[in-house]
Amino acid sequence: MKTIVKLFAAFCSGLWLSLSPILAQDALIKSHGISTFGDLKYGPDFKHFDYVNPNAPKGGEFSTWGFGTFDSMTPYILKGQAAALSSIFFESLMTGSSDEPDSMYGLLAETIEYPENRQWAAFNLRPEAQFSDGSQVTADDVVFSFNILYEKGRPSLKSVLRDVENVEALTPLKVKFTFKEGSNTREMPSLVAGLPVFSKAYYADRDFAESTLEPPLGSGQYLLEKVIPGKTVTYKRNDGYWGKDLPVNIGQNNFERITVEFYTDSTAAFEGFKGGVYDFREENFSKLWATSYNFPSLSKGWVVKETVPDGNPSGTQGYWVNMRKEKFKDARVRQAIGMMFNFEWSNKTLFYGLYTRTDSFWENSHMQATGLPNNAELALLEPLKANLPASVFTQEAFVPITSKTTQLDRAALRKAGKLLDAAGWKVVNGKRTNAKGDVLSVEFLNDSPAFERITNPFIANLKRLGIDAKLESVDAAQATERQKSFDYDIVVQRFVMSKTPGIELRRIFGSETVDAIGSTNLSGMNNPAIDTLLEKIEQATSREDLNTAVRALDRSLRAMHIWIPQWFKASHNLVYLNVYEHPEELPPYALGEMDFWWYNADKAKKLQAEGAF
């Protein structure tokens, strides 16, 4: 990458502005917020977001659980395993709302300036913005933050930051980002507005790339109060926080403390909730939700059980197949493996009928591909035909087969067998074997005991197909390290897909991240047609064009069988101590339990008097 801060560029920028004030003034947009397609719900004088309770009381403790363990408080680097919420210390130039798909409003920055073509963006920092040690947040800190993330942050960050040509401090409180010609300037101002801002002075004698449990210096509302490595972390609200009265903060960050208790076993975590170790739980295990929420504190009203809708796209949870492995390069092999996961039996037998099968990477959204490609999609897909499966053009968007509700569907077994035969994996002595004599083996990397009951029947079906399949259970730390280095055959993962997809998709599907250690390109996607579709998504100038490009990408990925989709439920299953309250109407795009919920002290006193805790 070119040198980030260039005196010559700064000089030219300043010269251009001085020689062309009228032109610059005509092209300049100055605003309190920005959105990808220009639509802002909240005006410059808004008092608070509509979905918050501006009079929510401050105080109390929120406690929940986290899976696995941790040995670091630094979430933006490759080393170590960062604790849950360890990004809470840091703020960004702007922050989003939870009732709009892609809007951002001023946080550290009071305003943003940019031309209509969004080739650059300048941010005017609030003079009152400060780090928790009282030092001012400056433009130099923003420049430093970008540079250090690019140079020492997770390698996959380079794929999303590559389109920044230059970042410079124009004044102590004004920073300007210039974007490369031909880049996705539609999205770039929002992307850089959302980057964390670090203290340059703090890291003068510290190595950003080294993992540490030392509480980092940030400008956010919470400080680190207590840490027990691998077990517990507690954050305490900073009484001297500089921005508590900003419109974007009114009615938010209401808890005095936030504690996360870590468990390596989901059953133990559930027992911890029942025992009062922590007080809020979103239940993701259908068996527990259907059969185990019958303990006394529920019947006494001490604990609330509630289901609330989830308006976000629901679909990326699945078994991801590592196509970097030679044995998985043939799509017929991947499709055959997927046929042996019997969702219908699993839903009836294991999930108590609570779930729906996922078909799409953008399940539960208007971006999900259906049927045959329409003319608008074909206009994008036809030039890419050489690098896409023929089925993208000749068949409706792929959906998994519907199996019988017996664990092994023999019709599915026969279809999968034919695919493997055609791919050169014949049955020899009961095992699928290729011409070289290699046996087809599949290993599932697993760090969740709760998933064993789901994956083991899948493995049994694969064995009936002649595949040497097994489950390798490791602890969370091992799973994290192996996933970083792509040392697996198949892993389970769920990504929360953006409501306005863009640059972040490079990290999941872009060829430039296929070998980037720590990237989220789990399947090893490395295809020029997919790269082109990612560019089309980034370059979309309207919501309609964006939706078309995402649908084209969705149907292409599904035709490649890079994952085995699992299931979804467009709602949150919640249980929590009856001391927490939330706005009556929750926003569509966030549950917000740690953001705009609050603690009712009167309820807490009542429960305490009744012996609830």
89-143 per-position pLDDT tens digit: 999 999 999 999 999 999 999 999 999 999 999 999 999 999 999 999 999 999 9
Length of the chain: 613
Return the CATH number at 399. 3.10.105.10
Confidence band of 313 (pLDDT split at 50, 70, 90): confident
Contact (Cβ atoms closer than 8 angstroms) between residue 439 and residue 433: yes
- Residues 6 or more apart whose Cβ sits within 8 Å of residue 336: 415, 416, 417, 419, 420, 423, 465
- The pLDDT value given to residue 600: 98
Q: Using one digit for the tens of pLDDT, what is the confidence trace for 446-480?
A: 998 889 999 999 999 999 999 999 999 999 889 99
- Assigned domain for 158 exists: yes
What integer is the mean pLDDT of 45-52? 98
Indicate whether 297 belongs to any domain: no
Residue 239 β-bridge partners: none
Any domain includes 590: no
Domain count along the chain: 2
Q: In CATH, what number is assigned to the domain containing residue 92?
A: 3.40.190.10
- Of 155, 186, 205, which closes a domain? 205
pLDDT tens digit string along 173-211?
999 999 999 888 899 999 999 999 999 999 999 999 999
In a domain, 259, yes or no: no
Does residue 507 have a pLDDT over 60?
A: yes
- Domain annotation covers residue 513: yes
With cut-offs at 50, 70 and 90, classify the pLDDT of residue 16: very low
Write out the two tokens for 184.
């996705």
Residue where a domain terminates, one of 162, 181, 205: 205
Burial-class residue 394 by CB neighbours within 10 Å (0-12, 13-18, 19+).
exposed
Residue 498 has pLDDT above 60, yes or no: yes
Please, is 366 exposed, middle or buried when counting C-beta atoms within 10 Å of its C-beta (0-12, 13-18, 19+)?
Answer: exposed
CB 77 within 8 A of CB 154: yes
Answer for the pair 546, 501: CB distance below 8 angstroms, yes or no: yes
Residue 409, domain member (yes or no): yes
Other CB atoms within 10 A of residue 465 CB:
24
**Which of 183, 205, 227 lies at the terminal end of a domain, its last residue?**
205
Residue 72 confidence (pLDDT): 95
Count other Cβ atoms within 10 Å, centred on residue 584: 7
**Averaged pLDDT for residues 42-57:** 98
Tell me which H or E stretch contains 222: strand 222-228
The residue with tokens 């095992």 is 431
Amino acid at 132: S
Cβ–Cβ under 8 Å, residues 255 and 598: yes
Contact 208, 72 (CB under 8 A): no
The predicted pLDDT at position 265 comes to 87
Residue with tokens 């059953």: 267
Above 60 in pLDDT, residue 349? yes
Rounded to the nearest 10°, the torsion over CA 575, 581, 587, 592 is -70
* Unique residue bearing structure tokens 């507690």: 234
Return all residues near 603 (Cβ < 8 A) that are at least 6 apart: 578, 579, 581
What's the pLDDT at 156?
85
CA–CA–CA angle 97, 37, 556 (5° rounding): 100
pLDDT at residue 5 tops 80:
no
Q: Are residues 499 and 363 in the same domain?
A: yes
Q: For the chain, what is the largest distance between any 2 Cα atoms, rounded to a whole number of angstroms?
A: 81
Tokens of 251: 């009615």
CA distance 226 to 368: 44
CA distance 603 to 87: 31
> In terms of DSSP H, where are the helices of 366-468?
375-381, 391-394, 410-422, 449-464
Can you state the angle between helices 410-422 and 331-339, rounded to 10 degrees? 170
Q: Is the pLDDT assigned to residue 7 strictly greater than 80?
A: no
Look at residue 292 and tell me if it is in a domain. no
214 and 223 Cβ atoms separated by less than 8 Å: no
Is residue 245 in a domain? no
Q: Give the structural domain span for 40.
A: 7-52+81-205
Q: Which of 505, 504, 479, 477 is nearest to 492 (CA)?
A: 479
Q: What H or E segment, with its residue span, contains residue 100?
A: none
| 595: CB partners within 8 A, 6+ apart | 98, 252, 253
Yes or no: say if 59 and 601 are a contact pair by the CB < 8 Å rule.
Answer: yes
Same domain, 334 and 483: yes
266: confidence class by pLDDT, cuts 50, 70, 90: confident
Q: What is the pLDDT of residue 27?
A: 64
Indicate if the pLDDT at residue 231 is higher than 80: yes
pLDDT band, very low/low/confident/very high, at 26 (cuts 50, 70, 90): very low
Are 262 and 69 in contact by the 8 Å Cβ rule? The answer is: yes
